[in-house]
Amino acid sequence: MTRLLRATYIVWVALRYGLDELVLTSFQKPWLRLMARVASVGRDLSAPRGQRLREALQKLGPIFVKFGQVLSTRRDLLPPDIADELARLQDRVPPFPADVAIATIERAFRKPLNEVFTQFEREPVASASIAQVHFATLHDSHGREREVAVKVLRPGMLKVIDQDLDLIRMMATWIERLSADGKRLKPREVVAEFDKYLHDELDLVREAASAAQLRRNMAGLDLVLIPEMFWDLIRPEVLVMQRMEGIPIGQIERLRESGVDMKQLARDGVTIFFTQVFRDGFFHADMHPGNIMVSVEPATFGRYISLDFGIVGTLTQIDKEYLAQNFTAFFRRDYKRVAELHVESGWVPPDTRVDELESAIRSVCEPYFDRPLKEISLGMVLMRLFQTSRRFQVVIQPQLVLLQKTLLNVEGLGRQLDPELDLWATAKPFLEKWMLEQVGPKRFWQELKDQAPYYAKMLPDLPRLLHGYLQQKQDQVTTRQLVEIIREQRRTNRLLTGLVYAGLGFLLGLVAMQLYIWVRIHFF
């Protein structure tokens, strides 16, 4: 019943904001356009279509807002008016009352607000689907005054998210059972991944831990700034972090006026993404413009400022190596190797013809090489690859869905910063260097250093372990010898028993023959 009510509410919101009319008018068929006009009778649809879509997504809740955030970065797929409106979902979702935020903070710290902060701005500086941010001032452990940003969760988010996920989970089950591609697409596993990321985002302690990890990982790169976390003031529903100053990356004109090199900024963004993915296997997976600023401070001029670490992605070493090999082969236009990797990894059936898969991948990818981002739609490339994957029954990998989403975010961001950016040429040297590090002496030396504490601990025990090993081998040899002796004894016993029986049989035969001769002599 809960699912039915939620589904009914979603349909009602779609009809109220005229989303059905918006979809129908996007078709070229006259009869569909006529149907759109009929559907709009009696409803006030005077507001612009982009505004109606944005308001509908806001009304439906955080999952739909996140969907709109992803769409807002794909200006190559959307009309400008819709893309502009959806961009407001990145950090301008209507805020909840400041009194509610203050009550949440006081409940989390169990003390009045003025005992936590010396100054607190009631007006939020940013408001998104899951939380909103207020600026404040506090005294740190050394008595210094620090400017901080306070992130507070929206109340009641868990219930709304669970309801929507329950509905999506049910739809995924239907797709898996009814669709011919259901098992290959693994919709329930994809929803499970989405479920995990959304619930992680509702725990601000986890977000702070992710931010701290990214801060350590990026410390030596000098391309991105990540705020410091104030661990004494972090709770599941409240997060206090260093206040960062910069220009939102979506304000392109302001960045240009400040003297930021837009081409270098675009290249740095690609480098940051590939470093996090392939070097660390731990990446910021919510890289829409609302979560990124650019520093204009003299000491850090032109560096990225990353915010909002509620969604992070992780990759295993196997995932990293497989993806790096695929990307490297792709950048070299070695489509045969790409096809072979799909077979080796088990992503396609083992009887797949490599030459046919190679030809299909070439037909999708070849037209897009040596072209700037303004002439490429990665969304279209992925759609064509998806069509190819259906033909060859490629099994979808749920753990990589978040990476694909982030890659789309990166491409959309790069398109805004520098439409002339050659994504492939920028990424290729990085990946080739990374591959060399994975198989060269540097990797061997790193592995040796990583294992050194283990070897150092084991070294004092080595004589005892060696003695135990040799004793075990000796015992194994002794046992083996005893087994052989017993086996040989049994063979000998069987032989002797056979000889005894044969001898007895021979003697009985002689006795019988003698008896037979005696009878013949005396009676016949």
- Tell me the catalytic residues: 286
Q: How many CB atoms lie within 10 A of CB 221?
A: 15
Distance between start and end Cα atoms, the chain: 111
Residue 486 to residues 11, 99, 483, 492, 496: CA-CA distances in angstroms? 82, 88, 5, 10, 15
Q: Name every residue whose Cβ is closer than 8 Å to that of residue 105 and which is 6 or more positions away in sequence.
A: 113, 116, 150, 152, 238
Strand partners, 149: 135, 241
Q: Name every residue whose Cβ is closer than 8 Å to that of residue 345 and which is 6 or more positions away in sequence.
A: 322
DSSP secondary structure letter of residue 278: I
> Is the separation of the CB atoms in 406 and 313 below 8 Å?
yes
> Is the separation of the CB atoms in 434 and 323 below 8 Å?
no
Tokens of 23: 């979809």
Q: Closest Cα partner for 140 from 118, 122, 107, 173?
A: 118
Cα angle 284, 289, 292; round to 5 = 60
Q: Closest Cα partner for 158 from 92, 63, 69?
A: 63
- DSSP characters for 176-245? HHHSTTHHHH-HHHHHHHHHHHHHHHT-HHHHHHHHHHHHHHTTTT-SEE-PPEEEEEEETTEEEEE---
In terms of Cβ atoms closer than 10 Å to its own Cβ (0-12, 13-18, 19+), residue 519 is exposed
